[in-house]
């Protein structure tokens, strides 16, 4: 846990560039796990465009001394999080949790996850979901330590990779 005061707050429009920078830096550790450079570039484009998703319900930032050190997105449903996919998960859905690599190990991701759980409760829901890639071992470890469990019904495995669906019941 960090000894520095971390605040979790709704993101402002002025935070958007910093959010994208944090997300790209955060996910860069997995760049070599993508099948090719083109897939990585498409992923980065998805990150850059994610803040323009009209279904984005809540966008949170973690700040230390007004510096963005983490971020997370929360949607009301899986379909809103991934409008191009038919996902019958009618619960709040977390996307693009990222922490500046220099700030990892300070409990920031846990605080962002707690915020999502609290927001889900405010929406009248006691369950939240998320997807992660099978190659994202650090993320998987974080989610499982937090208490997320795999929901095999919605996890997919293919030659293109694994999309693991996790749920957290509070």
Q: Where are the domains of the chain?
A: 7-169
Number of helices and strands (H, E) in the chain?
5, 8
- The per-residue pLDDT for range 54-64, each reduced to its tens digit, is 999 999 999 99
Q: What is the mean pLDDT of residues 29-37?
A: 84
Does position 2 have pLDDT exceeding 70, yes or no?
A: no
CB distance 103 to 43 below 8 Å: no
Q: What is the pTM of this model?
A: 0.92
pLDDT given at position 157: 73
Residue range 130-148: mean pLDDT, rounded: 94
Ramachandran angles phi, psi of 80, nearest 5°: -70, -35
Any residues with CB less than 8 A from the CB of 34 and at least 6 apart, and which? 40, 43
Confidence of residue 160 (pLDDT cuts 50, 70, 90): low
DSSP for 72-106? EEEESSHHHHSTTS-----S-EEEEEEE-GGGTTS
Handedness of CA 100, 160, 42, 89 (dihedral sign): negative
**Burial letters for 142-152: b for 16+ Cβ neighbours within 10 Å, e otherwise?**
bbeeeebeebe
CATH superfamily of 7-169: Gcn5-related N-acetyltransferase (GNAT) (3.40.630.30)
């Amino acid at each position: 846990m960090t000894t520095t005061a971390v605040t979790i707050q709704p993101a402002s429009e002025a935070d958007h560039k910093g959010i994208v920078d944090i997300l790209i830096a955060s996910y860069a550790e997995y760049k070599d796990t993508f099948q090719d450079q083109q897939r990585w570039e498409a992923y980065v484009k998805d990150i850059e465009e994610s803040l323009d998703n009209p279904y984005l319900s809540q966008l949170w930032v973690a700040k230390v001394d007004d510096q963005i050190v983490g971020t997370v997105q929360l949607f009301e449903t899986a379909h809103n999080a991934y409008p191009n996919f038919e996902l019958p998960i009618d619960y709040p859905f977390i996307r693009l949790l990222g922490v500046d690599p220099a700030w990892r190990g300070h409990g920031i991701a846990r605080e962002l996850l707690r915020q999502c759980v609290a927001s889900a409760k405010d929406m009248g829901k006691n369950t939240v979901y998320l997807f992660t890639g099978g190659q994202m071992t650090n993320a998987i470890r974080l989610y499982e330590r937090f208490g997320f469990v795999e929901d095999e019904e919605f996890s997919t495995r293919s030659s293109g990779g694994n999309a693991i669906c996790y749920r957290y019941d509070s």
